[in-house]
Structure 1
Amino acid sequence: MRNHGEKVKDMAESVLPSTARTSAREQRRRVHRRQRTRQRDLLVIARRTAFDGAPASALADVVETGFEADFEERRRARDITRLVWNRRAADKTGPLTRWAGAQVDRDARLREAPQSEQVAHFARLVPDNLIGRHALQHIEADLEYRARQAEWRQRTTARAEAEFLALRNQVVRDAETILRVGRHREVNAALRAGYRARAKTAPDGTVVFPRPARFLHGGHDVTEFAQVVVGHAWIVQVVHATANLAA
């Protein structure tokens, strides 16, 4: 069994066995091969243009017709960058990020600290070498994801609550309109027909109506009725359609 003091070293080194090592090497060879082929073809065209006495614009015309002049290697740099990120995405980061997340969750001071301080905390733990810096990059990315995930959940919850309140208020207004113009019986009849259309027969022959089998009982029931049915789109649509007829 390894000593407890070597835990951080083990965590940092656990990132290295990427699952895409072989494919990344083959992809890198293809990237360099394509670049050499493009440059060789461009040199052939440039040499022929010079020997034939054609104007310099002839080479530009060839490039415009579809040949890519890439002596600055922008395309190879882009392909290599994509290769690096694809290989990085295949790193075995699960043990490392779970360990880092557990460290943050257990320490109240670290949990409440800004992300920069959290990263600095792990920078002091991991070795100051290529392996440690590689591990630290994954830890930083995971901490940023955790922070954004919490923010996203808060925004999603707030948006869902706002939508729920807006829809409930709409049902309240529609129910009040229906009661005011005397279409109480019509909306309950439409709801009753909807419940029957959605009813199912149990194995013992009992008819099971969908929930909530809820009707509008009167002016005293508007708020509770809206609270119960707001999560059922077809009921909201029936109430809204009846209110529009009343208007």
Structure 2
Amino acid sequence: MSQLDPSSMSRRQQIVETYRMTRQADPTVGLWVGGTFVLGAVVGGVLFWLLPASGLLGIIFTVVGAVLFGIVAALLIFSRRAQRAAYNRIEGQPGAAAAALNMLRRGWTVSPAVGFNKNQDVVHRVVGPPGIVLVAEGTSPARVRALLATERTKHQRVLPETPLTEIVAGNGEGEVPLPKLVSHVTRLKRQVKPAEITDILYRLKALDAQRGTLPLPKGPVPTSMKGQRGNLRGR
């Protein structure tokens, strides 16, 4: 069955598709969402029942409050379970870090695979308030760090005054796990202003023009997962 382009789907279709894919990786998601809705409805019902209203108005407030609390709680749990399932689905695949970085909010520019080698180790670049952030991923820590050092030298040659941060995505010592990558990047110290970011991007064009290109897989993110970008953004 071919996957639909999220941009052509309604909000309801996106939620249904996200739920379908989440359930494939997390069969208990329905129980979690349903149970959370009931618990939230009970809490909301009790709180609204205590409001100084009586008769029919009190009943209406209680029902509405119960439903609203239940929906908010259920959506919160669904968002977290969907986020976890999405990361589990892409972790370990080539380009997984780039897929995660693409969930960054407005104000960040992500350039996948600005550096790579024949072993499919890659370095992705993020430009934003912290300056330049180079994120490497691969199967050999030593090889990945060597590639990262090469890219650092290239970038510092073009922009010697720009702050540069290096990150290795992974589960080893000193590495940043994929589910925490976006939040780790967004929490870096703000060191450049928006006007400076524009200049940095302009000067990086010259560096990028000298490179070859590495066609990353059209995965690892299923197209339907792109529709739940809000669920995957760092919090």
Give the TM-score, by structure 2 length: 0.29
Which structure carries more strand by proportion?
Answer: 2
